Amino acid sequence: MELKGKVAIVSGAAEGFGKAFAEVLLLKGCKVCLCDINAPLGQKTTGIFEQRFGKENAIFVTCDVTVAEQFADVFKKTKLEYGKIDIVVNNAGVANEKEWRQTIMVNLIGSMQGTELAVKYMSKENGGHGGVIINIGSATGFEPVFFMPAYAASKHGLIGFTRSWSVSKRNEANGLRFACLCPAFAETNLIRFTEGTTLSNSTAEALLKEIGVVKMSQVVESFMELLADESNNGAVLKLTLDDGAEYMYRDAR
Ligand SMILES: NC(=O)C1=CN([C@@H]2O[C@H](COP(=O)(O)OP(=O)(O)OC[C@H]3O[C@@H](n4cnc5c(N)ncnc54)[C@H](O)[C@@H]3O)[C@@H](O)[C@H]2O)C=CC1
Ligand SMILES: CC/C=C\CC(=O)/C=C/C=C\C=C\C=C\[C@@H](O)[C@@H](O)C/C=C\CCC(=O)O
C-alpha cells in the first residue's frame, strides 16, 4: 500500500504503541488524527509531531473510545480536516482485571466501535475509497491466561471480530480489509503491573522475565508489514521474542 498522502486515525496515540504507529505513518507521508482519553499527553505528543512533520499533517482529538459520540466525533473531524479516511488503527487498550468491565469496554467494544465507524466512512458504497482497519490484539488472544482472564477474553474476542469482518463479501466489494496485530509483552506502560492490572502480579512478572519483552521497533515493523501487503485481508500476525512474527489461521482464511 502506498502510504504517501493517506489519512489515518490512531486511537490511544498519546503514548506507547499508538504513538509509535502515528509516528511511522507521519514519517511515511500520511496525515494522522491522533486520539486519546489522555488530553494533556495527547496534545503534547501531537505538538511534537506537528513540529517534526508539519502542523497541517497531525491533529489531536480528545476521545474516550467507549463513548460512541466521542469516537464518532473523531471520524467527523478527520474527514472535515483531511477530506477522507484510509487507515484506522484501533489501538487504545487497558489491562485492569479489577475493573474488568472497563477492560472489555475499551479493548473490545471500543475497537468494535472504531471498526464500525471505519466501515461507514471508508466503504465505497458510502462515497469512501476503501481502506484498511488494523486492530491491536495480543498474544493473550490465543490461549488461556489465568491471571488476566478479562484482558485475554477481550483480545480473543477482538481476533474473532476482525476475522469475521474480513470474510464479508460486502466489505470486500467496498474495498475494505481487516487485520489484527498480536504482540506478546512489549515495553510500554501497560506492563508496569499495578494492583488490579492482573490477578497475580508476581505470576505476570515471572512470565515477563521468562518470555522477555518484544522491542517497539519489532512491533512497528510488523505493523508496517500488515499495512503494506494489500493481499492480507484477515491476517492475524502474532509477534513474540522467541518466534518473531508468524501468521495465524492462515489456512482458515
Ligand atoms: N504493551 C504490551 O505488552 C502489549 C500491548 N498490547 C495492546 O496494545 C495496545 C496499546 O497498548 P500500549 O501501548 O502497550 O499501552 P499504553 O498504556 O502505553 O497506551 C495505551 C493508550 O491508550 C489510551 N487509552 C486508554 N483507555 C482509553 C480510552 N478509553 N479511550 C481512548 N484512549 C484510551 C491511553 O491513554 C494510552 O495513551 C493495547 O490495545 C494493548 O492491549 C498488545 C500486546 C502487548
Ligand atoms: C497486563 C499485561 C498486558 C498485556 C500484555 C500482552 O498483551 C501480551 C502478553 C503476552 C503474553 C502472554 C502469555 C501468556 C501465557 C500463559 O498462557 C501461560 O502460558 C503462562 C502461565 C503461567 C506462567 C507462569 C506461572 O505459572 O507462574
Structural domain spans, the chain: 7-240
Closest by CA position to 109, among listed 122, 124, 90: 90
Using the 8-state DSSP alphabet, how is residue 109 labeled?
Answer: I
The grid coordinates of residue 116 equal: 464500525
Place of cell 484498511: 132
Closest C-alpha residue for ligand 2 atom 17: 145
Give the pLDDT mean for 179-195.
95
Instruction: Tell me what pLDDT residue 118 has.
Output: 98
The cell numbers describing 37, all together, are 482519553
Residue 213: which pLDDT band, with cuts at 50, 70 and 90? very high
Supply the pLDDT for residue 146: 97
**86: exposed, middle or buried (Cβ count in 10 Å: 0-12, 13-18, 19+):** buried
121 catalytic per annotation: no
Distance, in Å, from the CA atom of 14 to the CA atom of 148, rounded to the nearest integer, reads 24
Are 36 and 88 a contacting pair, CB within 8 Å?
Answer: no
Question: Does the C-beta of 187 come closer than 6 Å to ligand 2?
Answer: no
Distances (CA, A) of 45 to 14, 38, 71, 249: 6, 11, 19, 36
For CA atoms 219, 33, 226, 134, the dihedral sign is positive
How many whole angstroms from 105 Cα to the centroid of ligand 1?
Answer: 13
Can you give the pTM of this predicted structure? 0.97
CA dihedral of 252, 238, 10, 64, whole degrees rounded to 10: 90
Say which CATH superfamily domain 7-240 falls into. NAD(P)-binding Rossmann-like Domain (3.40.50.720)
Answer yes or no: is pLDDT of 251 > 80.
Answer: no
Q: What is the pLDDT of residue 250?
A: 78
Q: Rounded CA gap, 192 and 251, in Å?
A: 36
Residue 171: the pLDDT is 96
Predicted confidence band of residue 231 (pLDDT cuts 50, 70, 90)? very high
Residues with CB under 6 A from ligand 1: 11-12, 14-18, 36-38, 63-66, 91-94, 106-107, 110, 136, 138, 183, 185-186, 188-191
Three-state SS for 243? coil
Report yes or no: 11 and 92 within 8 Å, Cβ to Cβ.
yes
Q: Are strands 244-248 and 235-240 parallel, antiparallel or unpaired?
A: antiparallel
- Residue reference for cell 509531531: 49
